[in-house]
Amino acid sequence: MKKQISTVFFLFIIVTCVFAQKTQNLALTPPMGWNSWNKFGCDSINEKVVRGVADAMVSTGMSKLGYEYIVIDDCWQIARQPDGTIVADSTRFPSGK
């Protein structure tokens, strides 16, 4: 009886491991990028800084290594319209959305 329980448990573990990964090559690396808040907070984040970081990710080869995201975490918006649409800060980000 004890041997049967061990065998069933072992088979359960094997089946779980085999079928747990249904998609091949999913997330071979974690999502990699740069987040404005980690460096600047709200103090000096603006379009020039973000474009500079994006250009640096390309010129240093980081984009070829999988760094593909630029996250403008906060301080790019100034208000919401009555319908809930967020209004970008046109002073900090003059090129718009």
> Can you tell me which residue has the tokens 């987040």?
35
Q: Is residue 48 part of a domain?
A: yes
pLDDT at position 47: 93
Q: Which residue segment(s) compose the domain that 70 sits in?
A: 31-97
Average pLDDT of 66-95?
Answer: 92
- Taking 80 as the threshold, does the pLDDT of residue 80 lie above it? yes
Rounded Cα distance, 69 and 73, in Å: 12
Q: Is residue 78 part of a domain?
A: yes
Could you please report the per-residue DSSP string of 56-71?
HHHHTTGGGGTEEEEE
Average pLDDT of 6-27?
Answer: 63
- Taking 70 as the threshold, does the pLDDT of residue 81 lie above it? yes
Q: Is residue 19 part of a domain?
A: no
What is residue 85's DSSP assignment?
Answer: P
The count of structural domains within the chain is 1
pLDDT band at 39 (very low <50, low <70, confident <90, very high): confident
Give me the helices (H) in 1-97, please: 2-20, 36-39, 47-59
- Taking 70 as the threshold, does the pLDDT of residue 42 lie above it? yes
Gyration radius of the chain's alpha carbons: 24
- Taking 90 as the threshold, does the pLDDT of residue 27 lie above it? no
